[in-house]
Structure 1
């Protein structure tokens, strides 16, 4: 009887061990299946998210426009009698996104829309670089300090283009005392963001609103509007009656 009992108990233990192993294997298989399904769902969601990223974000990923003010430099004492000074810029874009069409050589009066390199001349958005905003803090005419001065630039041309980037130089000869005489002024330049998601930086407004209503239109208002580039500034003194 003792031997038979021991054999029966041993068999019971073997059956219990086999059941436990089967349960463990089933649990492991279920866990693995669940984990695999979760990973597959996450991958599918990531694929869907990537597919839904606006074209402009995918195209510009890892690169953004940049602006450099070549002249005047911060701290310069520039011009005579409020005029006779220049604003000179380099604007670099991811190639294919600048909106630049062709070079221009333009100006007021008889120089406006004149061959051989015609271009419009006046405040507002520049059709040659339609994403650029240029502000001067002492602008009192036009639409005030929020006026985009980009379309007053006289010479616009492509200076460098490679597979990744395109650089445009933009130059304005300030020939009239539009921004005061013997006064400090801040020049602010930026490329506005691709607000309409068409893959081109061509959304600069004619006037930048005073978003925070502090009486000034400056870098903070540009950032509120949306900028794609750095915001470049130069604080300068516009000379009055001086002898060069």
Structure 2
């Protein structure tokens, strides 16, 4: 009887170890596949500000989004759809020399493949804000080339948020990516004005961008928008 119990226990432990090893191998293979996908991406997004856990801004404004996009391959500026450098902003700063660019929610006229979302973006049809799916890329103030080689081009993009368009006193998630070449014209210029809730889960997030199609990694930053004044 004891030998029978011992044998069953040994078999149970052995089966458990087999399952654990199989799960570990599967997880390793999956992680390697994910890394391979990132490595093979045609663009890489890196967000410098805000950082995870930041308490940013004052009265819902005055916080930065500072990011770089590294486009891989030859003829980088053209492939990126980069139509010009820009120094822009609201009112009298909008689309004026020396580096004009339009300033409004939606697809960026200078870097038209970029999509930038916050999970708390307001809904205001008069100002063209359609909630969390609103692409905020065309609100960026500064766009320039920070590094350029034969096989890669780095574009830097910066925005100081001038109004509480993502709320105040709220936790939010910033999501940034480069949309894939959806029309196959060889240029990353297919970011939408508004990202749809493709998976119908009531949220606009990285899952929806994956369904839409991306050419880069998807960067997400979770932070707090400060409601206190200066």
For the criterion TM > 0.5, the same-fold answer is yes
Alignment partners' CA distance in 1, 2:41 and 2:62: 36
1:77 matched residue in structure 2 = 55
Give, in angstroms, the shift of residue 62 of structure 1: 4.7
* Partner SS, residue 241 of structure 1: coil
Give, in angstroms, the shift of residue 213 of structure 1: 1.4
The runs of 5 or more residues in structure 1 that have no matched partner are: 1-60
Q: 2:68 aligns with which of 79, 87, 90?
A: 90
1:229 matched residue in structure 2 = 216
Taking only aligned residues, the RMSD between alpha carbons, in angstroms, comes to 1.3
- Distance verdict in 2 for CA 1:212–1:103, change over 3 Å: same
- Does residue 65 (structure 1) correspond to residue 43 (structure 2)? The answer is yes
Alignment partners' CA distance in 2, 1:158 and 1:207: 26
- Does residue 178 (structure 1) correspond to residue 160 (structure 2)? The answer is no
Given that 2:48 and 2:67 are in contact with CA atoms closer than 8 Å, whether structure 1 keeps it comes out as: yes
Give, in angstroms, the shift of residue 242 of structure 1: 4.7
Give, in angstroms, the shift of residue 101 of structure 1: 2.3
- Distance verdict in 2 for CA 1:62–1:215, change over 3 Å: closer
* Partner SS, residue 208 of structure 2: helix
Given that 2:41 and 2:215 are in contact with CA atoms closer than 8 Å, whether structure 1 keeps it comes out as: no
Task: With the length of structure 2 as denominator, give the TM-score of the two structures.
Answer: 0.77
- Equivalence map 1:185-196=2 (5 Å): 185-196=172-183
Q: 1:107 aligns with which of 64, 67, 89?
A: 89
Give, in angstroms, the shift of residue 212 of structure 1: 1.3
Alignment partners' CA distance in 2, 1:75 and 1:242: 19
Give, in angstroms, the shift of residue 186 of structure 1: 0.3
Give, in angstroms, the shift of residue 214 of structure 1: 1.5
Given that 2:49 and 2:64 are in contact with CA atoms closer than 8 Å, whether structure 1 keeps it comes out as: yes
Task: With the length of structure 1 as denominator, give the TM-score of the two structures.
Answer: 0.73
Alignment partners' CA distance in 1, 2:180 and 2:168: 33
1:162 matched residue in structure 2 = 149
Alignment partners' CA distance in 1, 2:99 and 2:42: 29
Runs of 4+ with deviation above 4 angstroms: none
Give, in angstroms, the shift of residue 115 of structure 1: 1.1
Alignment partners' CA distance in 1, 2:180 and 2:204: 17
Alignment partners' CA distance in 1, 2:97 and 2:53: 37
Alignment partners' CA distance in 1, 2:40 and 2:114: 20
Structure 1 or 2, whichever has the larger Rg, is 1
1:145 matched residue in structure 2 = 132
